[in-house]
Chains A and B, each alone.
Chain A
């Protein structure tokens, strides 16, 4: 009986270790840090070139689109627009289709990487929330 338990225990240990190893290795490139603009921009150096999900609010009137392309440049600040103190502001760039809800004041989560020339958003990396009039389901995906 004890022999059987040792065998069972060993098998379980090997399986758990293999699983943990696999999980660890895939988590390495599968995860992104979810950060607010202030958390990153207060000390941007360590966050450069790390996969980030950056949460903030689009500065009204900052969205620029290059004529005849899908290239966007805009600014994102930490706090809601109504807040008297906007917090840190970061320049962001994006190429592609933006969601309908992406406009000034919108609460956004940008997926991408921070460089010294601003935040580069990945393709389909813009998720914009509705101006919180509705609590429930807003656009999923991009």
Chain B
């Protein structure tokens, strides 16, 4: 199998070179047949890479330990999911995964655009093939994932690093790669446009969606990385300005800049050189990020190892990209002249321009900070490093300026805004900002710099966005004669990119809101003996000792911690250390987190002593951190709306009112949202055929056994009816107590109360108690369901009535200037 894999990689390399050469030849000779042949070869690369991936995955699944890569990153006892994800667990495989993704995306992009952008396609094929050739060459010549042992092969693999055996880590790399690789498509179209000289806005239209798509996955990948760091690494934070993290952030900055400046080019035909440059720089940074993390140039605790050959190959490739691309740009400068000039600094295009500068500055600064140790060593001979605080000091103002621009931009008109129409525009957002800032600083005693300011800006931006939605909806309502809600949905449907963009901004605001919570972060390290207490924030933490359990795959040491607030026990936390078989020297840290919307209480088991039951704990209170993850969800929703295809919408609009299509989308989203919430409930049921001591004698006892969760801490909170940790003394004991209570004739609530009194927490209840915050967990799916039902009914009534109303009277007279402005913008952006 290994030789088949190697052969496929070679075949892909040869096909790539054929596709590249024949496409360019075809384009120069204007030969349709040659171009078609190039496209065919291009599709073939995709097929070959799929086959090669299948071979590698097959090797992992069947445990083919003659292949070195399989030995290094998997073993036979690994769960299926992690056998699959081992594909990209190491350097060689991740390069192959890169080529696979690029061939798939490339084929898709070529297939979709082959008629519309016929003149660009041959060069797109050639560019993507050339990039693929580089990575294939890396594999064939230097890092072949199919390398086998020459002599005796081991009979068992070394296993994937336990730290990577985490759900988020399973989906984080593919998501980040999708983002990285996706950025090659805009680059290829940019290069094709430069070569052919078709530098009107059509190539931008072809890549806008791809950039948005890649940007979404890049954001998703970064967020997943943050969640992984937060939940798995156990140091209490989510972002450490590590070079590997920075590598993902760099193209994110430039891609964000591009998504904004592209609008200026469409609208005003300005910034044309700038846009091409951004596309090139973004692509370059994805390659540069890969280079940084894979070649050992930058010291990082989680970079791949040193590899001077790889470093040299990458350097050559990067220099080629830069020289080639920018020579093309310089050659085409006459065609890239802006058709307009900046009329005024009080205009939206100026706001976009400043936003671009700040984003580019952010990218350059992070690049500088990341490369600083390498640079300083090259210049002074002393290796100087910069750490998190340095980045934070610089990036905080940068972030705040960006947040401010997020609010200011939409309030400014294109071309120029007069002071007269600025005042009413800024009034309500300004009020919102001052209120938010005032409440944060005045009531919550948050320092003005930087968190107080951040809260104020969050308020300002939300004010802007609400105002934009409201004004647009009011005008649309008056024009179409519907109600405000339908008008709002219609507004979003009519101009998905703009209003989707605003929703993305709401997500950004929530993320900043979460970041600002850092101002109140508490972090303590304590050593607690059995029964000892300590205080952090409003919580009192008491240690109830340590227990050790083993599930055959790993040894689990769990600390039992009770959490008190105001003398009342509110929760139990079970931070643990897991030592996997054959990885005993590198136990993983299983963080215990008590999540609430206001703050997370985060506990890490730093060390333990079984002889005197003492534990070393790192305790962190992280205010508002959950809003970061919520913010990402909203960002994804907004991007999704902006990405909705125009044609399908046009089709929908032809058959039914605009509102119908838009509402359907909104409802679909609601239904999708209710999915996870519902599944959270259904998960709590268990199977009935569980071997247990104290078999349930009555249906009532059975029901109770399924409601109470075992507190042994090692079974992942199974109910005592199904805790299979044989012999699990804890669940056995709890079932015994339950049986005794049933015999005493206690009813459901009494038993629950008795268990709460005894174990003191809600932790042991299978379903959340119907009170306080717990109630929210129960209510959410119902609320979402009810909202959807009401919305459907409401919309249905409105649509049926609309026909009558339209014939009754003409829409009322409205603020003509505003209407003109908005209609003008709607038309231009449609």
B383 A33 Cβ-Cβ under 8 A? yes
B interface SS class: mixed
Q: Name A65's closest neighbour in chain B (CB-CB).
A: B607
B613 to A: closest C-beta gap in Å: 12
Q: Does A6 contact B (CB under 8 A)?
A: no
A68 B585 Cβ-Cβ under 8 A? no
B612 to A: closest C-beta gap in Å: 9
B150-173 contacts to A, CB under 8 A, are 158, 161, 163-164
Q: Name B606's closest neighbour in chain A (CB-CB).
A: A97
Q: Does A5 contact B (CB under 8 A)?
A: no
A31 B302 Cβ-Cβ under 8 A? no
Q: Does A138 contact B (CB under 8 A)?
A: yes
In whole angstroms, what is the CA distance A101 to B588 when docked?
A: 10
B539 to A: closest C-beta gap in Å: 19
Please choose the segment from B96-104, B235-243, B505-513, B708-716 that sits at the chain A interface, where 4 or more of its residues have CB less than 8 A away: B235-243
In whole angstroms, what is the CA distance A48 to B606 when docked?
A: 30
In whole angstroms, what is the CA distance A27 to B164 when docked?
A: 34
B603-659 contacts to A, CB under 8 A, are 604, 606-607, 614, 616, 618
* Size bracket of the B interface: 35 or more
A30 B585 Cβ-Cβ under 8 A? no
Which residues does chain B contribute within 8 Å of A141, judged by CB atoms? 229, 233, 235, 237, 240
Q: Does B450 contact A (CB under 8 A)?
A: no
With A26-B393, A34-B383 in contact, do A137 and B302 touch (Cβ < 8 Å)?
yes
Q: Does B196 contact A (CB under 8 A)?
A: no
Q: Name A123's closest neighbour in chain B (CB-CB).
A: B525
A117-135 contacts to B, CB under 8 A, are 123-124, 127, 129-131, 133-135
Q: Name A135's closest neighbour in chain B (CB-CB).
A: B305
A interface footprint on B557-593 (CB within 8 Å = 1, 0 otherwise): 0000000000000000000010000000111010000
Which residues does chain B contribute within 8 Å of A70, judged by CB atoms? 525, 527, 616
With A30-B386, A32-B384, A141-B237 in contact, do A97 and B586 touch (Cβ < 8 Å)?
no
Which residues does chain B contribute within 8 Å of A111, judged by CB atoms? 387
Q: Does A88 contact B (CB under 8 A)?
A: no
A-B contact count (CB 8 A): 101
B235-273 contacts to A, CB under 8 A, are 235, 237, 240, 242, 244
Partner of A97, one of B372, B383, B585, B607: B607
Which residues does chain A contribute within 8 Å of B299, judged by CB atoms? 34
Q: Name A35's closest neighbour in chain B (CB-CB).
A: B383
A97 B616 Cβ-Cβ under 8 A? yes
B498-555 contacts to A, CB under 8 A, are 525, 527, 529
B386 A27 Cβ-Cβ under 8 A? yes
A140 B527 Cβ-Cβ under 8 A? no
In whole angstroms, what is the CA distance A33 to B382 when docked?
A: 7
A79-115 contacts to B, CB under 8 A, are 96-98, 100-101, 103, 111
Q: Does B91 contact A (CB under 8 A)?
A: yes
Which residues does chain A contribute within 8 Å of B390, judged by CB atoms? 26-27, 30-31
Partner of A138, one of B90, B91, B301, B383: B301
B235 A136 Cβ-Cβ under 8 A? no
Q: Name B158's closest neighbour in chain A (CB-CB).
A: A133
Q: Does A53 contact B (CB under 8 A)?
A: yes
A129 B301 Cβ-Cβ under 8 A? yes
Which residues does chain B contribute within 8 Å of A27, judged by CB atoms? 386, 390
Which residues does chain A contribute within 8 Å of B793, judged by CB atoms? none
Which residues does chain B contribute within 8 Å of A97, judged by CB atoms? 525, 604, 606-607, 616, 618
Which residues does chain A contribute within 8 Å of B90, judged by CB atoms? 135-136
Q: Does B399 contact A (CB under 8 A)?
A: no
Q: Does A139 contact B (CB under 8 A)?
A: yes
Which residues does chain A contribute within 8 Å of B235, judged by CB atoms? 124, 140-142
B301 A30 Cβ-Cβ under 8 A? no
B360-377 contacts to A, CB under 8 A, are 372-373, 376
In whole angstroms, what is the CA distance A68 to B613 when docked?
A: 11
Q: Does A116 contact B (CB under 8 A)?
A: no
Which residues does chain A contribute within 8 Å of B387, judged by CB atoms? 30, 32, 111
Q: Does A69 contact B (CB under 8 A)?
A: yes
Q: Name A53's closest neighbour in chain B (CB-CB).
A: B385
A140 B242 Cβ-Cβ under 8 A? yes
Q: Name A36's closest neighbour in chain B (CB-CB).
A: B383
With A32-B387, A34-B384 in contact, do A127 and B393 touch (Cβ < 8 Å)?
no
B589 A100 Cβ-Cβ under 8 A? yes
Q: Does B394 contact A (CB under 8 A)?
A: yes
Q: Does B459 contact A (CB under 8 A)?
A: no
Which residues does chain A contribute within 8 Å of B382, judged by CB atoms? 33, 35
A74 to B: closest C-beta gap in Å: 15
In whole angstroms, what is the CA distance A53 to B382 when docked?
A: 12
Q: Does B772 contact A (CB under 8 A)?
A: no
B587 A68 Cβ-Cβ under 8 A? no
Q: Does B304 contact A (CB under 8 A)?
A: yes
Partner of B163, one of A32, A34, A139: A139
Most chain A beta-carbon neighbours within 10 Å: one of B163, B376, B587 = B163
Which residues does chain A contribute within 8 Å of B393, judged by CB atoms? 26, 30
Most chain A beta-carbon neighbours within 10 Å: one of B387, B586, B589 = B586
A100 to B: closest C-beta gap in Å: 5
B587 A136 Cβ-Cβ under 8 A? no
Most chain B beta-carbon neighbours within 10 Å: one of A70, A100, A101, A137 = A137
In whole angstroms, what is the CA distance A27 to B369 when docked?
A: 10
B interface footprint on A23-55 (CB within 8 Å = 1, 0 otherwise): 000110011111100000000000000000100
Which residues does chain A contribute within 8 Å of B618, judged by CB atoms? 97
In whole angstroms, what is the CA distance A85 to B394 when docked?
A: 43
Partner of A101, one of B376, B384, B385, B586: B586
A46 to B: closest C-beta gap in Å: 11
Which residues does chain A contribute within 8 Å of B394, judged by CB atoms? 26
B304 A140 Cβ-Cβ under 8 A? no
In whole angstroms, what is the CA distance A30 to B385 when docked?
A: 8
Q: Does B182 contact A (CB under 8 A)?
A: no
A interface footprint on B280-313 (CB within 8 Å = 1, 0 otherwise): 0000000000000000000101101100000000
B527 A68 Cβ-Cβ under 8 A? yes
Partner of B385, one of A32, A135, A136: A32
Which residues does chain B contribute within 8 Å of A32, judged by CB atoms? 384-387
B81 to A: closest C-beta gap in Å: 18
In whole angstroms, what is the CA distance A140 to B226 when docked?
A: 12
With A124-B235, A136-B90 in contact, do A31 and B577 touch (Cβ < 8 Å)?
no
Q: Does B597 contact A (CB under 8 A)?
A: no
Which residues does chain B contribute within 8 Å of A33, judged by CB atoms? 382-385
B→A interface (CB under 8 Å)? 89-91, 158, 161, 163-164, 229, 233, 235, 237, 240, 242, 244, 299, 301-302, 304-305, 372-373, 376, 382-387, 389-390, 393-394, 525, 527, 529, 577, 585-587, 589, 604, 606-607, 614, 616, 618
Q: A26-B390, A135-B91, A136-B90 are in contact. List 13 more A-B contacts (CB 8 A).
A: A27-B390, A33-B382, A33-B383, A34-B373, A68-B529, A100-B577, A100-B586, A129-B301, A136-B89, A137-B164, A139-B302, A141-B229, A141-B235
Q: List 9 A-B contacts (CB under 8 A).
A: A30-B386, A31-B386, A70-B527, A123-B525, A137-B164, A138-B163, A139-B233, A140-B301, A141-B233
